[in-house]
Structure formats: C-alpha cells, structure tokens
Amino acid sequence: MERKKVAILMGSDSDWPTVKGACAELKRLGVPFEAHILSAHRTPAPAAEFAKNARANGFGAVICAAGMAAHLAGAIAANTTLPVIGIPMKGGAADGLDALLATVQMPSGIPVATVALNGAKNAAILAAQMLAVTDGELAAALDADRAAMAAQIAAREDKLQAELAAL
Ligand code: RP5
C-alpha cells in the first residue's frame, strides 16, 4: 500500500523557519510530504483549489501554519474532509494569542485539530499518527519513538536520583 502524503501549507514564507521543523520530522519518519506557501487571504482561490483536490492528489492529512488572523486552516478545512491540523504561529497580538484563537475556535461542523503555538513537530507527529491508522509500519515507527522517549526520561530520572542521593 502506497503511503499517503502530508500537505504542509503556510500562509507566508515568514512562517518557514518554524514550519521547517514539521518537514524535518516527517522526513525522519519516512512520510512523504509537499510544502507550499498558500494564503487564505492573499491567494484564496489557489488555496481553495489545493484543498478541493488534495484527496485525489494522494494526500491523507493537511497541516496549515498561519499567524495573526490565521484563517488558513479553517479555509482549507472548509474545502476538504481530509483531517486538517492547524499550527498557530507566534507573533501578532499577544505573541500569537490571536492566531491561537483563530485556529482553535472553529465553529461547529468544520474541525481543525490545533497544536501549540509554533507546534510544528507535534503537527507532523499528529499527521503521521493519522496516516498510521491504516499503516502498520508507520505505527511501529511511532511506537519505537515513544519507547525511545520513555527510555530517555528513565535515564534522566536515574541521574536525578543519583544527584539527590549525593546531596
Ligand atoms: C499570515 O500572516 C502568515 O501565515 C504569517 O504568519 C503572517 C504574516 O505574514 P507576512 O506579513 O510575514 O507575509 O498570513
């Protein structure tokens, strides 16, 4: 079974330094992806067109990063029933509170799964988890990551206990 692609859309190239983290994570996990600059307000027609064709074009999930009014994720979600993950970008009013609310507060009926401000890595992992619902190999890779994380925490705990004992 061919693995579905993840689309990573950003409202501006100014989002790229953060969005790059999502691309790196998907690459590490072996998930194919495309990244594009598409804006809900500067390029509304191409953005809607991309969303409408995304499923037919082999995508299984869409990640949208946008700052300020941050309606990219909602605008994309309005045009596809693929799962859409929003990354609200820091900056703007109260360093991203505007984008956070614009992304997370979707009206009922059109969901956007919202990660933390600048949460590019989690957006990538969540997209991979979505694809892993029907992809056992990817699920195994995600399980291995969880095991590695747990081992890392266990090692830190051992170090902490050793330092406590030496006080
Ligand atoms: C949003 O406006 C973009 O996603 C970006 O986060 C923000 C600012 O865009 P630029 O003015 O830097 O292009 O649409």
Tell me how far the alpha carbon of residue 91 lies from the centroid of ligand 1, in angstroms.
9
Give the mutation target among 15, 37, 71 for probing the ligand 1 site: most ligand atoms within 8 A of CB.
15
Please indicate, yes or no, whether residues 151 and 89 belong to a single structural domain of this protein: no
- Looking at residue 63, what is its pLDDT? 99
Q: Which pTM was predicted? A: 0.97
Please indicate, yes or no, whether residues 89 and 51 belong to a single structural domain of this protein: yes
Tell me how far the alpha carbon of residue 154 lies from the centroid of ligand 1, in angstroms.
40
pLDDT over 70, % of the chain: 100
Domain count, the chain: 2
Burial grade of 122 (CB within 10 A; 0-12, 13-18, 19 or more) = middle
Please indicate, yes or no, whether residues 52 and 106 belong to a single structural domain of this protein: yes
Calculate the alpha carbon distances from 127 to 42, 45, 167 in Å: 26, 25, 44
- Residues 60-118: tens digit of each pLDDT: 999 999 999 999 999 999 999 999 999 999 999 999 999 999 999 999 999 999 999 99
Domain range for 141: 136-167
Q: Where do we find the tokens 């957006």? A: 123
Q: Are 104 and 88 in contact (CB under 8 A)?
A: yes
- Residue 1, pLDDT > 90, answer no
